[in-house]
Amino acid sequence: MSKIFIRKWSELSGNRFDAEYYKDEFMELEKTLRTKTTLKLSDFIISISSGATPDKKESWKYYTEDKTKGIPFLRVQNIKPNTTISDDFIYINVETHEGMLKRSQVSENDLIVTITGRLGTAAVAPKGFIGNINQHSVVIKTKDLQTSRAIATFLNTDIGEKLASRRATGGTRPALDYKALKSIPIVYNESIYYVIEEANRLAKAKEQQAKELLDSIDSYLLEELGITMPSQTNNALDSRIFTQKISALSGSRFDPSYHQKYYQDLENALQSSPYPLINLASIIEDFKKGIEVGSSEYSQNKEIPFIRVSDISNNGIDFENVQKFVSASLYENLKTFQPQENELLYSKDGTIGICLEADMKRDYIISGGILRLKLVKEVDRYFLQFLLASQIINILANRQSIGAVIKHLNIDKFLNLKIPLPPLEIQEQISKKLLDSKNQALALQTKAKEILNAAKIDIENIILAPESSGGGGNI
């Protein structure tokens, strides 16, 4: 509900005249923090730099798929609100790291803070880490590891999020400039990090149990289908050199990776299943793509989620961390892009091969990188969901993709993928077992989130406690 309020001229600050900046919750929070600290983020910064995104049209010049030689290139989704960095990296080559992006290099103990998207989320580079960032984050050198940890923990609280969001400017794409970022008040307390560290330890144990259950899904599925995954050859030079007859080249694909023997071994493994191999097209009654609304249509207000590939996993849509939204009025015009009941969603761009059940609990629309699949009645949709998300089908789908950095899977290529299809009764037996394992894993993941959320509340209570103060001491 809209709210009307009045502010005195003396209360206006920083050349900000937008009403959002002067909401009661922000004003009261800043007033409380002024009683606890005089420190700002700028007081802890030795140096600060932002990165850039090398031109993807010349990806061969800047990027690499070789994880052993490449440098992790951190994006907003890699910076987690529990102060850690996720490892789903893309990689730049050493030349780019040492040349074009030299000023934004990240090393151990550095503080990384997002300045667009999920504003003010912070992580600390772990021991031995070497990486780089794009323009949506900054890397900050602080005095030491303890300083970076304490600041990251503070920024990741709801308090820190509000302070960052308040200082952001920009309509549809809010961002923090250096001046705004440096002005964030910091209640400095090194002990708060140990609260999140213990929570991370407990949550990680739950997540590991969940991972083991989810990993068992693939093994069980392949075993029931009578498929044994072939072993991959090593990466030695003699293993990567091979010849191929012209007659074996197909579909205008002349890139060597497409014709690796490993792919032939995977296709042979599928052939070994006792069940018939069919084209996906024969069991998909209908399919539809999502839509790209364009950045100008993004809504600053968090109204209707606009779901991109980065928002989904095989376990569902991560609504809590969605970064892009559209207005309710635009949603009314785009309702045809709302997934429907009993549909599967499948990612065809970027991270190819994610498959999940359409969520019917809320309104949202999907981006053009996601397909909606409606299946024929003779197929158990849970069975197909697990199969499309399996390692073997995922590898074969990625083989058909094009694009060096951002991959794209042509829909015709997707529909021509071959899968083993048991009778419906066996499909249902397999999917029941797999759903049980998946639900156990999701329960463990939920528990892990609850542990981290409880830790955030404990940290905020420490920060706001009457006796708490972070304004003294040497920096």
| pLDDT at 335 exceeding the cut of 80 | yes
pTM here is: 0.77
Most confident of 24-28, 134-138, 401-405: 134-138
Give every CB contact of residue 21 below 8 A, 6+ residues apart in sequence. 166
| pLDDT at 474 exceeding the cut of 60 | no
The reply to whether 259 and 400 lie within a common domain is yes
The reply to whether 202 and 216 lie within a common domain is no
| pLDDT at 302 exceeding the cut of 80 | yes
| pLDDT at 379 exceeding the cut of 70 | yes
| pLDDT at 167 exceeding the cut of 70 | yes
Mean per-residue pLDDT of the chain? 90
Percent of residues, the chain, with pLDDT higher than 90: 76
Task: Choose the weakest-confidence range: 13-27, 222-236, 382-396.
Answer: 13-27
- Reduced to 3 states (helix: H, G, I; strand: E, B; else coil), residue 325 is strand
The reply to whether 321 and 380 lie within a common domain is yes
Give every CB contact of residue 445 below 8 A, 6+ residues apart in sequence. 206, 207, 210, 315
Positive or negative, the CA dihedral 11, 15, 17, 23 is: negative
| pLDDT at 106 exceeding the cut of 50 | yes
Residue 114 CA, distance from chain mean position: 14
Confidence (pLDDT) at 295: 86
The reply to whether 159 and 297 lie within a common domain is no
The reply to whether 266 and 379 lie within a common domain is yes
Confidence (pLDDT) at 9: 59
Confidence (pLDDT) at 473: 47
Which amino acid makes up residue 143? K
| 471 within domain boundaries | no
The reply to whether 104 and 116 lie within a common domain is yes
Distance CA 57, CA 448 (A): 40
- The mean per-residue pLDDT over the stretch 153-180 comes to 91
The reply to whether 300 and 203 lie within a common domain is no
Confidence (pLDDT) at 245: 62
The reply to whether 443 and 399 lie within a common domain is no
| pLDDT at 241 exceeding the cut of 80 | no
Tell me how many domains the chain contains: 3
Which residue segment(s) compose the domain that 392 sits in?
212-232+253-422
| pLDDT at 349 exceeding the cut of 50 | yes
The reply to whether 27 and 107 lie within a common domain is yes
Confidence (pLDDT) at 256: 61
DSSP 117: S
- The mean per-residue pLDDT over the stretch 393-415 comes to 90
Look-up of token digits 């890397």: 139
| 469 within domain boundaries | no
The reply to whether 397 and 288 lie within a common domain is yes
Tally of CB atoms within 10 A around 187: 22
| 407 within domain boundaries | yes
| 7 within domain boundaries | no
Q: Which run of H or of E encompasses 277?
A: strand 277-279
Distance CA 184, CA 167 (A): 8
| pLDDT at 63 exceeding the cut of 60 | yes
The reply to whether 166 and 114 lie within a common domain is yes
pLDDT tens digits, one per residue of 423-456 = 999 999 999 999 999 999 999 999 999 999 999 9
| pLDDT at 472 exceeding the cut of 70 | no
- Specify the CATH number for the domain of residue 44: 3.90.220.20
pLDDT tens digits, one per residue of 174-216 = 899 999 999 999 999 999 999 999 999 999 999 999 999 999 9
Percent of residues, the chain, with pLDDT higher than 70: 88
The reply to whether 152 and 291 lie within a common domain is no
- Reduced to 3 states (helix: H, G, I; strand: E, B; else coil), residue 18 is coil
